[in-house]
Amino acid sequence: MFRTAELGQKIPKHEFKEKAPLLRQDLLTVQQRLLQLKKFPVIIVFAGVNGAGKGETVNLLNEWMDPRWLITRAYDKPSTEEQERPEFWRFWRDLPPKGHVGLFLSSWYSRPLLDRVHGKIDEVEFNDLLDRVINFERALTDDGALILKFWMHLSKTDQRKRFKVLEKDPLTSWRVTQEDWDNWRIFDQFEENAERIIMRSSTGDAPWSIIEGADPNFRSLTVATIIRDEISKKLEAQQKQDQAAALAKTGASAARKTAARKTGANKTNPPTEAGESLSLTQLKQSTVLDMLDMDTKLTKDEYKQQLQAYQARLNELHRKALKKKVSTILLFEGPDAAGKGGAIRRVVAALDARHCRVIPIAAPTDEESANHYLWRFWRHLSRAGKITIFDRSWYGRVLVERVEGFAAEHEWRRAYAEINDFEQQLTDSGIVLMKYWIHITKQEQLDRFNARKEIAHKQWKLTDEDWRNREKWEDYEHAVNDIVEHTSTRLAPWTLVEGNDKRYARVKVIESLCSSLEQALKHNVKSWNRH
Amino acid sequence: MFRTAELGQKIPKHEFKEKAPLLRQDLLTVQQRLLQLKKFPVIIVFAGVNGAGKGETVNLLNEWMDPRWLITRAYDKPSTEEQERPEFWRFWRDLPPKGHVGLFLSSWYSRPLLDRVHGKIDEVEFNDLLDRVINFERALTDDGALILKFWMHLSKTDQRKRFKVLEKDPLTSWRVTQEDWDNWRIFDQFEENAERIIMRSSTGDAPWSIIEGADPNFRSLTVATIIRDEISKKLEAQQKQDQAAALAKTGASAARKTAARKTGANKTNPPTEAGESLSLTQLKQSTVLDMLDMDTKLTKDEYKQQLQAYQARLNELHRKALKKKVSTILLFEGPDAAGKGGAIRRVVAALDARHCRVIPIAAPTDEESANHYLWRFWRHLSRAGKITIFDRSWYGRVLVERVEGFAAEHEWRRAYAEINDFEQQLTDSGIVLMKYWIHITKQEQLDRFNARKEIAHKQWKLTDEDWRNREKWEDYEHAVNDIVEHTSTRLAPWTLVEGNDKRYARVKVIESLCSSLEQALKHNVKSWNRH
């Protein structure tokens, strides 16, 4: 989940200086439009790792935006005034009215996280607190509020570095306390509980964005861009809704006039998504895929030897799993010609064909279309002990359907939570779930496409669609990055496979499968007959 | 919560025979429209007390509706096939496709309830199971599904009667098992956990309806009417949405044609909400208010004596509560001229004015309108130990705003859950919450209005609005019934006060306040300084 925020993304000073003024202007413009429309409040929550720039970002936004319509609130231990009321009283009290923006620091997410990490509350209380938070946010979004949540992240190493830097300078050394160091020592516990909080509370209406906090320039521009874009989007949706309502009320002809007027109004306040403006995609130059060393290779001999060894090991584990009734699900995603099929065949070769099934996922059948998009995957879940391999999977919703526009934005956005929930049910019931993204570079794909053209028996594999998909290469890479951000959880992590060398990829797939199976069989697996 | 399902509502046989055929025709018509549109599935869940007619109702619907587009599923202990998959696999497998209707018996709500009552799962697991259920339903409703949930209720006494009747007849005696009797003995535990389940899972998109199950005719007609109305409503919303989409796509003029065509289509399949059809309001002849004995009275002497005694007691408890920092909130609702003001004055007379505040709730101020409707109540929560009295309250949302159409249906529907959540936060923080509905009969109100006209210093109390509100008397009574159904919980029950005799009403208010305060001060109150 946090891997996407440890990419080392940076914005050089000159670039920041060039881009910041434009963005600042944009922010002021949307703030003005928000105030004019006066239809909904904007609630922005900052949480995350200490030292990742929560406070600095809030200060910057205060500098960049119009402070008259901006409320900033940070919360410490409750005052006696506050203690004497229900816990959320202080948050309700501070909510921005319609047309205004509120920035919230160490707010309603602080207590669940801190108290859980320090063992002050148990699981029941932790879940109750999260329920309360979710209900609170839902009451606000149902009423029209826009809620944006930023999780500012630093890796454990980066946090230490940051503390050291602060401590060195006598002017900032006071900012690092003993408590900070104590918390640093239990960084992993923070991260684990943070992941649970983010998964639970990342609802379709109030999702989290995880921000790489190491570079101030990068994080500032990213946060500001998201705020600008999300407010703009909501403003437009609101205007469309108002137009539709007017249409329904006054009949079509009058509404056309309204629409014309509205468009006119937009001209005096130009929409900020114009081409010159900074976009989030431009900003995020790197994705998790850039962290892969695509030159990793195996020699023919290494390959032969390792493949054989791991296949033998896999076969043994497979038989044990059958006996213990531990099911396994593998899913493969990746660009066209990444070698998914080849990898799958090497896995299957080590398995008992009676206990293993490969499900190729193409366009849904009529029956499948008439059901929920997850239904077609539920129906293929196999009996205990078996292995099911999905060649492409439920991630189609947030990959091809997203990039090609087959799913509306609100549909694919909420799919992350739905998928996490689905996968949690799989792992909860004791299933070993392996998720592989086999990656190749754009050049490698081109070489493979060209090679396919040459070889008669591989020509059928190459379609016009493959060439079309190539044009959206960068969109797919960003989609993959979002997938890892939202769905690579402790229970169901993604395995990213360097696929330029087919041999290396195949061995890595089988090797990681073996090691997960080994883990699962060693531990006291949550039994499938729990219910 | 279940009081509204213990009113003894009945439909005589001849009335049933007369109404059933029409309703049946209606159901077939909506089923046809559903199938033609083929845009969403309908998922109907039955749960509740054994003997309250779950199975019979499902059988009846199978008889009345077209079985080709109807799936019925009941679940027992999971089969080995099912045990070997995640728990929800069997439910996913059975979901109806778009255009079809699914009836589900002893489904996803069975295990949480049974396992919790029998102590097989703890609080954490109970909450996790409910979360799963809520996520499951949300995934379906987000995808467009219509989910209707019926909780069939019998009182403890009625359940015993029902079992006895079944046992007497040799043909049905097998239906009552030892387990049924064992469960009957822990009826209260079932009810308590059922209430929690209903509160948690009654979301705006998938709400529960609580059905009085004692009379087969009444429950059958009620369930069938709700099914017909909710499917109709959703069909219309869907058609409107399709029209709006067409409008956006093809421009207004083309859309007008579509709209005209759609209207035409409706003519061949007449909308079933036509005047001749049975409506839910006609069906529910009684409300909880009919259970009140409106003739209850106190003599002048009784009144004097009791009022004095209880006021003295209240004053004593009030001082104790101040010391212990136990806050109290009272809210008063009721028809115009019911005597809310008079009752409040008698309460206040017993209190220390420095520690007590009366908040009259009228139309919201500008500032209040620019915020969430609950915000104006949050801001008035007082410090520990104090008493706050709301003259009218947050229930305005589901009373006047509902009846007068100031709030849209989706707004007031979700308000029940929001209010329950709000009140739970109050009681969780140790506040004693008293909710009073002071009731008078329509005739009594008329007498009081006329009396006001006569007395000069009371004339100002009578406005045109009062007379207008009178015209919607029955709508208000149904709204009150729904309030009690959805928000009279163990933690925050409603006190319904017979108000035709002002003396009796005032004494009852103070008496019940004393007894709740006593309870709260005796028990180890959850302390406000918990956080």
Q: What are the backbone angles phi and psi of residue A460, rounded to the nearest 5°?
A: -60, -20
Residue A242's Cβ-count burial label (10 Å; 0-12, 13-18, 19+) is middle
- Per-residue confidence (pLDDT) for residue A529, from 0 to 100: 41
Question: Angle CA(A493)–CA(A499)–CA(A500) in degrees, nearest 5?
Answer: 155
Strand pairing partners for B330? B389, B434
Helices A216-250 and A54-64, packing angle to 10 deg: 60
- Contact in structure between A294 and A439 (CB atoms under 8 Å): yes
> Which pair of tokens denotes residue A4?
């996407």
CB contacts, 8 Å: A81 with chain B: 383
Distance CA B450, CA B337 (A): 11
Written as one letter, the residue type at A433 is: L
Which DSSP helix (H) or strand (E) runs through B97? Answer: none
Give the Cβ contact number of residue A79 at 10 Å: 10
pLDDT at A459 (0 to 100): 73
Under the banding of pLDDT at 50, 70 and 90, the label for residue A383 is: confident
Q: A83–B127: do the CB atoms touch at under 8 Å?
A: no
- Chain B residues with beta carbon closer than 8 angstroms to that of A83: 384, 528-529, 531
Instruction: Give residue A154's pLDDT.
Output: 94
Of the partner residues A111, A371, A531, the one whose CB lies closest to the CB of residue B83: A531
Cβ pair B426:A38 closer than 8 A: no
Chain mean pLDDT for chain A: 89
Exposure letters A113-131 (e unless 16+ CB within 10 A, then b): bebbbeeebeeeebbbbbb
Position A253 scores a pLDDT of: 52
Measured between alpha carbons, how far apart are the two ends of chain B, in Å?
A: 29
Backbone angles phi, psi at A102, to 5 degrees: -120, 130
Note the pLDDT of residue B452: 85
The answer, yes or no, to whether residue A269 has pLDDT greater than 70, is no
What pLDDT does residue B455 have? 78
The residue of A35, A121, A122, A143 whose CB has the most chain B CBs within 10 angstroms, and thus the best one to mutate to test that interface, is A143
Closest chain A residue by Cα to residue B383: A84
Q: What is the DSSP string of A307-360?
A: HHHHHHHHHHHHHHHHHHT--EEEEEE-STTSSHHHHHHHHHTTS-GGGEEEEE
**Does A249 touch chain B if contact means CB atoms closer than 8 Å?**
no
| CA geometry: angle B74, B80, B81, nearest 5 deg | 75
pLDDT bucket at B82, cuts 50 / 70 / 90 = confident
Whether residue A366 has pLDDT greater than 70: yes
Give the C-alpha separation, B17 to B221, whole Å.
11
Cα torsion A105, A111, A114, A119 to 10°: value is: 180
Q: Which of A20, A155, A38 is CA-nearest to residue A96?
A: A38
* B378 vs A: CB within 8 A: yes
CB of B507 closer than 8 Å to CB of B310: yes
> Residues A41-70: what's their mean pLDDT?
93
Distances (CA, A) of A281 to A229, A414, A475, B508: 12, 20, 9, 66
Residue type, B168: K
Tell me: pLDDT of B205 over 90.
no
pLDDT in tens, B44-70: 999 999 889 999 999 999 999 998 899
B179-212 as b/e: b if 16+ CB within 10 A: ebeebbeebeebbebbbbbbbbbbbbebbbbbbb
Candidate from A257-271, B76-90, B313-327, B368-382 with smallest mean pLDDT: A257-271
The yes-or-no verdict on residue A403 having pLDDT over 90 is yes
Query: With a cut of 0.90, is the ipTM above it?
Result: no
Question: What count of other Cβ atoms lies within 10 Å of the Cβ of residue B101?
Answer: 25
Residue matched to tokens 């904007």: A42
Q: By the CB < 8 Å criterion, does B379 face chain A?
A: yes
SS3 letters for B295-317? CCCCCHHHHHHHHHHHHHHHHHH
CB B328 within 8 A of CB B45: no
Strand ranges of the sheet holding B356-360, from the earlier edge strand across to the other edge: B356-360, B387-391, B328-333, B432-439, B494-498
Give the residue from B378, B381, B419, B420 with the most A CB atoms within 10 Å of its CB, the best one to mutate.
B378
CA–CA min distance A22, chain B (Å): 31
Listed by number, the residues of chain B in 141-200 with a beta carbon closer than 8 Å to a beta carbon of chain A are 142-143, 145
Helices B178-185 and B187-201 pack at an angle, to 10 degrees, of 80
3-state DSSP assignment of residue B217: helix
Question: Which letter does DSSP use for residue B390 in this model?
Answer: E
Residue A265 clears pLDDT 50, i.e. is over it: no
Residue A435 β-bridge partners: A331, A494
Q: Give the alpha-carbon dihedral of B508, B513, B515, B516, to 10 degrees.
A: 140
CA A525 to chain centre: 28
Q: What is the pLDDT of residues B171-201, one digit of tens each?
A: 888 888 998 999 999 999 999 999 999 988 9
A8, containing H or E segment: none
Task: Look up residue B244 and give its two tokens.
Answer: 């709006």
Q: How far is the C-alpha of A256 from the C-alpha of B423, rounded, in Å?
A: 45
| pLDDT tens-digit readout, A447-464 | 999 988 887 677 777 788
Band of the pLDDT at A250, cuts 50, 70, 90? Answer: low
Task: Using the predicted structure, report yes or no on whether residue A273 has a pLDDT greater than 90.
Answer: no
| Confidence grade of residue B324 (pLDDT, cut at 50, 70, 90) | very high
Strand runs labelled E in B281-416? 328-333, 356-360, 387-391
**Contact status, residue B212 vs residue B6, Cβ threshold 8 Å:** yes
| B392: alpha, beta or left? (left if phi > 0; alpha if psi -120 to 50) | left
- Of the given ranges (A127-131, A150-154, A221-225, A318-322), which has the lowest mean pLDDT? A127-131
In this complex, the residue of B83, B84, B139 whose CB is nearest that of residue A418 is B139
Predicted pLDDT at A276:
61
Angle at A134 between CA A131 and CA A135, to 5 degrees: 85
Instruction: Tokens 């108290």: give the residue.
Output: A115
The whole-number average pLDDT for the span B423-430 is: 92
| Confidence tier at B295 by pLDDT (50, 70, 90) | very high
Q: Which of B126, B129, B142 to mutate to test the interface with A (most CBs of A within 10 A)?
A: B142
Q: Of B153, B276, B162, B220, which Cα lies nearest the Cα of B17?
A: B220
Q: Is A528 on the interface with B (CB under 8 A)?
A: yes
Residues of chain A found within 8 Å of residue B98, distances taken between Cβ atoms: 370-371
CA A8 – CA A220 distance, rounded (Å): 15
- Percent of chain A exceeding pLDDT 70 equals 93
**Residue A523 pLDDT > 50, yes or no?**
yes
A381 to B255: CB separation less than 8 angstroms, yes or no: no
Taking CB atoms and an 8 Å limit, are A381 and B85 in contact across chains?
A: yes
Backbone angles phi, psi at B103, to 5 degrees: -110, 125
| β-bridge partners, A78 | none
Q: Please give the Cα distance from A332 to A495 (Å, whole number).
A: 10
Distance between A482 CA and the closest CA of chain B, angstroms: 20
Task: Compute the distance between CA of residue A488 and CA of residue A491 in angstroms, rounded to an integer.
Answer: 8
The answer to whether the predicted template modeling score (pTM) of the entire model surpasses 0.90 is: no
For chain B, say whether A353 makes contact (Cβ under 8 Å).
no
Please indicate if any CB of chain B lies within 8 Å of the CB of A375: yes
* Chain B residues with CB-CB distance to A529 below 8 A: 83
Radius of gyration of chain A (CA): 25
Q: Which two tokens stand for residue B72?
A: 């019925």
Residues 51-90 in B contacting A (C-alpha not used; CB under 8 Å):
78, 81, 83-89
- Residue A326 predicted with pLDDT over 70: yes
Q: Give the C-alpha separation, B444 to A282, whole Å.
A: 72
Strand partners, B71: B102
Residue A244 is predicted with a pLDDT of 80
Range A80-101 burial, b when 16+ CB lie within 10 A, else e? eebbbbbbbbbbbeebbbbbbb
CA distance B434 to B509: 9
Percent of chain A with pLDDT over 90: 67
